[in-house]
Amino acid sequence: MMKRNHADKLLSLLLAGTLVSSAAVGLAACKEKEPTPPVHTHTFAEGWSHNDTEHWHAATCDHAEEREDVATHVYDREVAEADYLATAATCTEPAKYYLSCVCGAKGTETFAFGEADGQHTFNTSVWEHDATHHWHPAICGHAGEKGSYEQHTFTNNADGAKRTCSECKYSEYLFDELASPQDLAYADRAITFRKVQYAVSYHVEIKADESKVAEKDVPAGTEETVSVSIDGFGKELVGDYTVTVTAICDDFTSDPATATIKVSWADKEVLIEAEDAILNEKHYHAEANMHGGAFAENFNDAGQGLYLRYFAYEAGTKKVTIRYATNEDDPYVDIYVNKEGETATEKQARVVFPEKTGWFGDIKGADTETELTFTQGWNEIYVLKPSDTTQTPNYGGHVQFDYFVIAGSDKEYDPASVDKAAKSYRLEAEVAEWRWTNAKQRPSHWSAFSLGFGLGEMNAAGDGVKFRFKVAESGTYKVQLALGGSGSVQLNVSINGEEATEKTVRTGSAWNIVGLDDGFTVELTAGEWVTIDFLRTTAWYNPDYLLITPVEA
């Protein structure tokens, strides 16, 4: 191997350095010769863009934010094209267009273009008319112009009172006035008269001594004779009256027809609500879906029940229908009819309720029937739970009552021959609200007491009995309590919840010998509920019934 000397090594190093230096110079020279990028020129659309206040040419290159020729709108161009139409031409005015800007924006001011078209405009959804023609009214400002002006095409209405145009629906009456009702009369508890041509209704008015007592509007109907029941006026009418009947058709009113009538008493069907037959308000239950809005419930002790009053125009036997509900098998009650002036009577019926309906509420209940015999005049009816424990269910079981219906004969009676004044009210204590300190005490069956029931001894402070009732006629009444007891009996009495005061004193001989106390008087108003509460003071007593008698003026 050849060995290189020192001079050779030095020459090699010098040659290598020269080569590196030359390469570096060559690389720098290359970089200095790269081309410069061209300058970008934006391009814009020929058409205009605009907003509410100005317009411009929008950029079409990638620089959307650039805009050219930006300027505020100037509305000085008149372009009569559909896009700028403000109002179409009318019968008197040419079309009007909005002024526009060079960019196409629409201003608010207008200019006229063209000629008036001479065509009137009409509201085709509205008809106007006179007695012979109809037309559509002009809406172009020319009130005298009439569109679709034609004669009416009439067809008589089904009621015969009017004829109507089939096109515009204009109607006119076929009469100038209504005739007065003819043949006005009264018979069989009905006001009758002949129908009036064209009448659509009648107004019937009843007066007594020039004072209006009842009135009713009656549809004309189709019958030749119009009949109006005297019982359909919502009140009992008895006596001499003046009846006035007027025929009516829209704005037409006939002259009235007048007649004098005499209305007698009538033996009509009578419905008595069970809630109105309660002497003890604890048996009252309000229920909107029941007849009258309530029913009677919660009869769970011997002697409890209802008190009904019924006026019989003549003595006889009537069918009585009872609306009830029960959740037991074959419960029953005893029914007594207590004649005026008598202290007691035998029961007339034991009524069994055969249908197990469930209790009232959503349940409508069922009906059962019996027959009761009445004397002429006011009769007091008691529906009582018996004291019998030998039969099932004990004490007759449980029944709820909605109403009682006593059949009528529809027979009429001369008012002069019928006295409907109430002579007295006899309210049994066992049907009222009784209270004992001894919670186990109950009414007892004793033959010496009215209807066979007495309350038994009221012998502790707080014991007592409260009656709840109405009277049919306003006036002064004497109130007396029938009771048994020995020695001097003093009672405190509270009327309508007022503070109790001592009102009755009686000296008795025995608990089972019943007599009336001296009593007291009180003013009562017809149809208003009254409560009278008798409270024990110093001596025991055995209540039987409360007697309420009108005091002669």
Q: Give the H or E element holding residue 24.
A: helix 6-31
Which residues lie closer than 8 Å to 96 by C-beta, 6 or more apart? 85, 86, 87, 110, 111, 112, 113
- In this prediction, residue 410 carries a pLDDT of 87
Low-confidence ranges of the chain (pLDDT < 70): 1-35, 339-346, 507, 553
Burial of residue 46, with CB atoms counted within 10 A of its CB: 0-12 exposed, 13-18 middle, 19 or more buried: exposed
Q: Could you tell me the CA-to-CA distances from 417 to 280, 302, 314, 395, 413 in Å, in that order?
A: 36, 41, 11, 43, 7
Rounded CA separation 269/227 (Å): 20
- In this prediction, residue 345 carries a pLDDT of 62
- In this prediction, residue 140 carries a pLDDT of 83
DSSP secondary structure letter of residue 223 = -
pTM for the model stands at: 0.64
Rounded CA separation 335/486 (Å): 32
- In this prediction, residue 339 carries a pLDDT of 57
- In this prediction, residue 177 carries a pLDDT of 92
Backbone angles phi, psi at 83, to 5 degrees: -65, -20
Backbone angles phi, psi at 436, to 5 degrees: -125, 145
Rounded CA separation 49/409 (Å): 98
- In this prediction, residue 31 carries a pLDDT of 53
- In this prediction, residue 186 carries a pLDDT of 95
Q: Could you tell me the CA-to-CA distances from 473 to 457, 496, 524, 526 in Å, in that order?
A: 34, 18, 8, 5
- In this prediction, residue 29 carries a pLDDT of 45
User: What is the sign of the dihedral through the CA atoms of 196, 202, 204 and 205?
Assistant: negative
Rounded CA separation 363/281 (Å): 23
- In this prediction, residue 2 carries a pLDDT of 38
Rounded CA separation 244/221 (Å): 19
Paired tokens of 548: 């309420």
Paired tokens of 122: 């009409």
Could you give the domains of the chain? 128-173 (no CATH), 185-263 (2.60.40.10), 270-417 (2.60.120.260), 425-550 (2.60.120.260)
Paired tokens of 317: 């036997």
CB 402 within 8 A of CB 291: yes
CB 203 within 8 A of CB 212: no
